[in-house]
Structure 1
Amino acid sequence: MDPLSFPPIAAILDAAYELLMGLAALLQPVAGAASAALAVILLTLLVRTILIPTGIAQARAEQTRARLAPRLRALQRRYRNDRERMSRETMKLYADEKASPLAGCAPVLVQAPIVGVVYALFLYPVIAGHPNALLSEQLFGVPLGASLAGSIVSGTVTAPAALVFGVILVLIVLVAEVTRRLLRPDVAASEGVPGGEAVARMAGFLQFGTAVVALFAPLAAALYLLVTVSWTLVQRLVLRRRFPVEPATSA
């Protein structure tokens, strides 16, 4: 059974669809044929604005992890031969600091259903029983439902499609590189979290995974991804100044 056909989810998805197409209709006199693409961008900005509190929560969790990392490493060294004692002491440290080792997970869980509903608008040809007209709209002659990989495989790729997707992919890669350089994960701070060091080392390279997704995603979804990674970069830079992560030092 398709989970999106479940009545409550279908109703939410249909409401999001009506909002998106309503925005496109309002923008039609100004943006013309690009109104639907512009509506996708505006809807993405609206969603990211709604999710600002989750970004703040993640920044606070990152700051807490960095602050506690030296003490966590000390506990790991002290009780390296007693895993049960190390686990108890670790949880006690978090409790004493009124923090949680899973604090960064909750914001992600909150974002997931919201982002999932929005992303479904760009993937499904049928929304709540009616055709998804968004996918037939165009940007510079390229349907919003077309993907670069799909067009290449089918042999239907056009010069405008290659240009539009090429620009989007290049911009996503540039944002990923700036993110990697300016927000390089603190490997030392991540050592206090089980498996955190490996995750921190991989995180920088995973930034480029969005470009791979955009290669296979419909144009509407690629626009969504470009706006999302750009917003996330700016938001993280602002929040890093508000919640600075001090370099971890050995305890």
Structure 2
Amino acid sequence: MSVFSGFATLVDQFSDLLAPVFQGASAAAAIVLFTMAVRLAVHPLSRAAARGQKARTKLAPQLAELRRKHGKNPEKLQKATLELHKKEGISPLAGCLPSLLQLPAFFLMYHLFSSKELGGEANPLLGHTLGAAPLGGRFHDALADGGLFGGAGLVYLALFALVTAVATFNYRRTKQQMATAPAAATEAAPGMGAMLKVMPLMSFMTLFTVAVVPLAAALYVVTSTVWSAAERYFLYRDAPPATLAAAV
């Protein structure tokens, strides 16, 4: 038995356990709970990233000074910046780790619901649905089977509405934080100001992901997106505006 088929069996069995409560949506509920378990596992790294971001914000004046002194020598600027981070015990990669460690889980979900066969046998997961939408189907399948307001189309409309609500919340909050953040926070690195203007819009890219991946993977993405919004709100609720703007 391959790793994929073994995991598919676990998901199928977990779905059966949830069936008395969630009925036909038990597999979708299993995916949501799996996603929450993954996010809970990486939550300590998210907390560490938040602490690191707050520490980096305090270094903004020193980083601006390094740019002033070594702006014409990129290699020296990079070396000095890394030395400053090392001195303060800050890892530049800390903020990326939570996202990077989730990628294997996302691709696992994508593969499980994209393959007709697992380990040489029929994929048992493809028979599961959320409402009228197969968990292995995509948005274009829903449009072809009943259109936007058909049974499957309505499932996607609900997901799109949820993602849009979360993305709008993130966008407005980030814009407010950036408006009150001191200039030093956006000038600590070349091009940071321009990047921060674009970053608030990135949440809306989740809509594209939901539209093109299998519904099961879309559920993973949507659940993770909602978790991220809530997690960021609580982790940065007491942080100064500069920290929040830099942590987009």
TM-score by length of 2: 0.83
Counterpart of 1:95, as a letter, is K
- Aligned pair in 2 of structure 1 residues 98, 211: CA closer, same or farther (>3 Å)? same
Which whole-Å deviations, capped at 9, do the CAs of 1:21-68 have from their partners, x for residues lacking one?
A: 111101122222221122121212222111212211321232232222
Counterpart of 1:157, as a letter, is G
* Alignment match, 1:20: 11
CA contact (8 A) 2:170 2:229 kept: yes
Kindly report which structure 2 residues correspond to 1:150-165, keeping only aligned pairs within 5 A, or say none: 150-152=141-143, 155-158=144-147, 159-165=150-156
More displaced 10-residue stretch of structure 1: 97-106 or 45-54: 97-106
Query: Which among 29, 42, 59 is matched to residue 51 of structure 1?
Result: 42
Q: Distance in 2 between matches of 1:122 and 1:69?
A: 45
Query: Which among 92, 108, 127 is matched to residue 118 of structure 2?
Result: 127
- Aligned pair in 2 of structure 1 residues 84, 33: CA closer, same or farther (>3 Å)? closer
* Alignment match, 2:242: 247
Q: Distance in 1 between matches of 2:69 and 2:204?
A: 38
Q: Confirm or deny that 1:226 pairs with 2:215.
A: no
CA contact (8 A) 1:65 1:192 kept: no
- Aligned pair in 2 of structure 1 residues 42, 205: CA closer, same or farther (>3 Å)? same
Once the two structures are aligned, what percentage of the paired residues are identical?
32
Q: Distance in 2 between matches of 1:204 and 1:219?
A: 25
Query: Which among 152, 160, 171 is matched to residue 169 of structure 1?
Result: 160
Match of 1:207, SS state, is helix
* Alignment match, 2:79: 88
Q: Confirm or deny that 1:144 pairs with 2:135.
A: yes
Report how far residue 174 of structure 1 moved: 0.7
Q: Distance in 2 between matches of 1:105 and 1:29?
A: 39
Q: Confirm or deny that 1:206 pairs with 2:202.
A: yes
Where in structure 2 are there 5+ consecutive unaligned residues?
244-248
Where in structure 1 are there 5+ consecutive unaligned residues?
1-6
Q: Distance in 2 between matches of 1:106 and 1:195?
A: 23
Q: Distance in 2 between matches of 1:226 and 1:58?
A: 22
Q: Confirm or deny that 1:179 pairs with 2:176.
A: no
CA contact (8 A) 2:38 2:102 kept: no
Q: Distance in 1 between matches of 2:199 and 2:116?
A: 33
CA contact (8 A) 1:148 1:157 kept: no
Q: Distance in 1 between matches of 2:89 and 2:195?
A: 24
Which whole-Å deviations, capped at 9, do the CAs of 1:6-31 have from their partners, x for residues lacking one?
A: x9xx42x3343222111110112222
Corresponding pairs, count? 236
Report how far residue 190 of structure 1 moved: 4.5
* Alignment match, 2:246: none
Report how far residue 214 of structure 1 moved: 0.7
